[in-house]
Structure 1
Amino acid sequence: MTDQNTGGAGHSRRRGQGALEAEVLAALRQAPGPATAGWVQERLGGDLAYTTVMTILTRLHAKGAVVRERAGRSFEWTPVADESGLAALRMRKVLDGESDREAVLASFVTALSPRDERLLRDLLAQAPHEGED
């Protein structure tokens, strides 16, 4: 079994799932169009196994961050979210998994720095509000 913790130069530490997802999304955004897992693997320097790239792409697909289309016996992948969009999807998933949304949001807001609180207020003021009377 290969130890991924002792890879080539510059790759001495194992990357976390979030870091890998961000790297895969960045590679897909550089593609001139839909890209195969092999293309993504090449752009990431080839130190990741093809199966690892496929696993990350499949996870991103399940999160709604990429779409895929059949291309022969494989898929071509296209990003629909950038890194900030992926973080927002993660946050939404956490929120959707909680029964007391108000308590979760209240805890989140009270933990914000004053700067982030101002930013959130500004963003909320600019956002279109659906369903308001």
Structure 2
Amino acid sequence: MHADDEEAPGRRQAGALESEILRVLVSATEPLTPRDVLGKLTARLSYSTVVTVLTRMFEKGLLARFKDGRSFRYAPLTDEASVTARKMGSLLDAGTDRATVLRRFVGELKPGDEDLLRQLLAGADED
């Protein structure tokens, strides 16, 4: 690992803030304003940061946005598992040797995950 690849102390991993905001929105019973989201986050952030992240998530197609007076309300169009699955697929597509990437991915699985993956591949736990 290069020094450039390491996270700075106190910094979140890429996508961690989006994931936390998505969890807040998925657990809500109605679309939320940026101020509502800010109040439910565990991270200490500025209002403008929350608005920026919500706007980016809307532009990525992860959220619906509804006009509410001079502000907007946001609702999820997906869930965290779907977002993660899309990221995994994009990373796999970016490589040049799918077989090696998949082999190494399987080799890094935690105990029990390999059995779960086999069940999923066999269609035992379809959504």
Distance 2:111 2:99 in 1: 20
1:111 alignment counterpart: 108
Map residues 58-73 of structure 1 onto 2, 5 A cutoff: 58-73=55-70
Identity across aligned pairs (percent)? 45
Q: CA deviation at 1:123?
A: 0.7
Q: Which residue identity is paired with 1:116?
A: D
Distance 2:108 2:44 in 1: 39
Q: CA deviation at 1:20?
A: 1.8
Task: Kindly indicate whether residue 23 of structure 2 is the aligned counterpart of residue 26 of structure 1.
Answer: yes
2:38 alignment counterpart: 41
Distance 2:102 2:71 in 1: 41
1:87 to 75, 84, 87: 84
TM-score, normalization by structure 2: 0.67
Deviations 1:40-81 (A, max 9, x none): 112226831122112322343355432323445543211133
1:8 alignment counterpart: none
Distance 2:43 2:18 in 1: 15
- Kindly tell me: are residues 43 and 93 of structure 1, through their superposed partners in 2, closer, same or farther at Cα, counting changes over 3 Å? same
- Kindly tell me: are residues 31 and 111 of structure 1, through their superposed partners in 2, closer, same or farther at Cα, counting changes over 3 Å? closer
Q: CA deviation at 1:119?
A: 0.8
**Which SS does the other structure have where 1:92 is aligned?**
helix
Deviates more, 1:18-27 or 1:63-72: 63-72
Q: Which residue identity is paired with 2:85?
A: A
Distance 2:39 2:63 in 1: 18
8 Å contact kept, 1:67–1:77:
yes
- Kindly tell me: are residues 111 and 17 of structure 1, through their superposed partners in 2, closer, same or farther at Cα, counting changes over 3 Å? closer
TM-score, normalization by structure 1: 0.64
5+ residue gaps, structure 2: 1-9
Deviations 1:89-128 (A, max 9, x none): 3212322333443443233223334522211110111177
2:118 to 121, 124, 128: 121
**Which SS does the other structure have where 2:112 is aligned?**
helix
Question: Cα RMSD between the aligned structures?
Answer: 2.9
